[in-house]
């Protein structure tokens, strides 16, 4: 266990985050049908919702909640805005990130370096 902690402490945040090109995200500008299809065909349960590009994150949504909201005719951007992303600086070390993750309770964490 100590070895794992020491290994984590020696890594950078960039070394443990999902690369930008591998992030599945929802474009709020797409049609309801396109968003529904994307959510149903993805194995992921959490999605950043963005305006046109990944740099424009509105918020983070759970796929199930967004599917229900779409059926009720809700606005995708409004739903996403109710759950903003937690943004951390790229200089944050993984050990300090653990505290942020605990407080986030399963919500997406976005590194500032992945946005710039």
Q: For residue range 22-49, what is the model confidence (pLDDT) as tens digits?
A: 889 999 999 999 999 999 999 999 999 9
CA 89, CA 81: separation in Å to the nearest integer?
Answer: 21
pLDDT on residue 58: 94
Going by C-alpha positions, the residue among 112, 46, 58 that lies closest to residue 85 is 58
The stretch 2-30 carries a mean pLDDT of: 73
Q: Is residue 104 scored above 60 in pLDDT?
A: yes
Written as six digits, the tokens of 85 are: 């992303």
Query: Which overall architecture, per CATH, does domain 2-114 show?
Result: Roll (3.10)
Rounded to two decimals, the pTM is: 0.76
Cα gap 80→75, rounded to integer Å: 9
Q: pLDDT value at position 65?
A: 95
Under the banding of pLDDT at 50, 70 and 90, the label for residue 66 is: very high
Q: What was the pLDDT predicted at 81?
A: 94
């Amino acid at each position: 266990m100590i070895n794992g902690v020491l290994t984590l402490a020696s890594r950078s945040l960039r070394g443990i985050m999902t690369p930008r090109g591998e992030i599945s995200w929802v474009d709020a500008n797409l049609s309801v049908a396109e968003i529904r299809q994307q959510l149903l065909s993805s194995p992921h349960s959490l999605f950043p919702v963005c305006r046109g590009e990944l740099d424009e994150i509105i918020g983070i949504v759970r796929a199930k909640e967004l599917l229900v909201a779409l059926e009720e005719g809700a606005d995708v951007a409004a739903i996403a805005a109710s759950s903003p992303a937690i943004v951390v600086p790229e200089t944050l070390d993984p050990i300090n990130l653990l505290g942020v993750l605990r407080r986030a309770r399963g919500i997406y964490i976005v590194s500032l370096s992945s946005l710039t």
